[in-house]
Amino acid sequence: MDHSAADGNHRTGVEVIKDKNGVSQVLLRSPRGASARVSLHGGQILSWKNEWGEELLFTSSKAILKPPAVVRGGIPICFPQFGSRGPLEQHGFARNKMWTIDDNPPPLQSIDTKGKTFIDLRLKPSDDDFKIWPHSFELRLRVVLSAEGFLTLVSRIRNVNSKPFSFSFAYHTYISVSDISEVRVEGLETLDYLDNLCNRERFTEQGDALTFETEVDRIYLSSSDAVAVFDHEKKRTFLIRKNGLPDIVVWNPWEKKSKAITDFGDEEYKVMLCVDASVMERPITLKPGEEWRGRLDLSVMASI
Ligand SMILES: O=P(O)(O)OC[C@H]1O[C@@H](O)[C@H](O)[C@@H](O)[C@@H]1O
């Protein structure tokens, strides 16, 4: 189904399709052939391809595509809790709720959509959500694909309640890499991090760049707004730019943990890396009527 036909609001390059489980997905296509696929289940980015049709995000071959499971891969949106600490299930409930297409979002001036393909999604809490997290919010997500194939995600969270609330948040980004042992992450040098594998003990990053030879699960604190992931074998570099999201979680389950994750292949840790722009250490507090924004810009370029 062409979204333009569905709502009378013509948008070139935007199509709404249903997957085999009846879940709607929005397909964005740039004029140069790049594409992104977003599920209304979780507002999750399921796929991001460059103009040559190469998939840039990792999705497990064992991913469960039927709700309420969260697809193992792509970019799940984690809200109102990221991680396991807090009153809610790990990574919050937004990633396994049904979102809707938002045809009349409030203006978002800072995002130039000229010549770009985009969609706005929205999540409002259900009565059941309210029982486990008693706060009224509006969560909006704009997904923008530029002609060159760069992907921008902008989330807006508004407190529509009469009392303040606090939350953490993440774009839980599964990057596809060719060989994890050949990957280098730059932009985290000298930062303090909390190590999830050592009961969140605080350390300082000593190396020039982060490389991988074992399980990693770290929360880098107050990072700069640009981090680069170099994939030597593929000769490409992912540039992750962010705004409003101070922390970066880096996760690779490595060999042993991979075997314990049911929707993840035993060897798949070799071809993925999560680099999650997030709000983790210091949750955001919104007073009634206040709004928070968090922006992620992903681009990929050839490296030498
Ligand atoms: O299996 P989940 O809930 O999607 O989480 C995967 C991983 O997500 C990472 O962000 C966390 O730091 C890890 O601790 C966690 O294991």
Q: Which CATH number belongs to the domain containing residue 224 in this structure?
A: 2.70.98.10
Query: How many helices (H) and strands (E) in the chain?
Result: 3, 20
How far is Cα 301 from Cα 226, in angstroms, rounded to an integer? 14
Q: State residue 7's pLDDT score.
A: 43
Say what the pTM is.
Answer: 0.95
Q: For ligand 1, is residue 216 a contact (CB within 6 Å)?
A: no
Q: H-helix or E-strand containing 131?
A: helix 127-132
Domain that holds residue 182: 3-302
Number of domains in the chain: 1
**Cα–Cα nearest to 83, from 255, 213, 265, 251:** 251
Q: What is the ipTM of this complex?
A: 0.97
* Joined tokens for residue 187: 């932009």
DSSP per residue, 226-270: EEEEEETTTTEEEEEEEES--EEEEEE-HHHHHHH-TTS-TTGGG
- From 217, 250, 252, 272, mutation site for ligand 1 pocket: most ligand atoms within 8 A of C-beta: 217
Q: For ligand 1, is residue 274 a contact (CB within 6 Å)?
A: yes
Q: What is the mean pLDDT of each run of 10 residues along the chain (304 residues)?
A: 44 92 96 97 98 97 95 98 93 96 90 89 93 96 96 98 96 98 96 97 96 98 96 95 98 98 98 98 97 98 85
**Cα–Cα nearest to 49, from 74, 69, 72, 80:** 74
How far is Cα 181 from Cα 189, in angstroms, rounded to an integer? 18
Positions at the binding site for substrate: 72, 90, 95
Q: State residue 115's pLDDT score.
A: 86
- From 60, 72, 84, 90, mutation site for ligand 1 pocket: most ligand atoms within 8 A of C-beta: 90
**At 98, which amino acid appears?**
M
Q: For ligand 1, is residue 276 a contact (CB within 6 Å)?
A: yes
Q: State residue 43's pLDDT score.
A: 98
Q: For ligand 1, is residue 90 a contact (CB within 6 Å)?
A: yes
- Measured distance between the N- and C-terminal CA atoms of the chain, rounded to whole angstroms: 41
Q: For ligand 1, is residue 251 a contact (CB within 6 Å)?
A: yes
How far is Cα 304 from Cα 232, in angstroms, rounded to an integer? 8
Q: State residue 114's pLDDT score.
A: 85
Q: State residue 2's pLDDT score.
A: 47
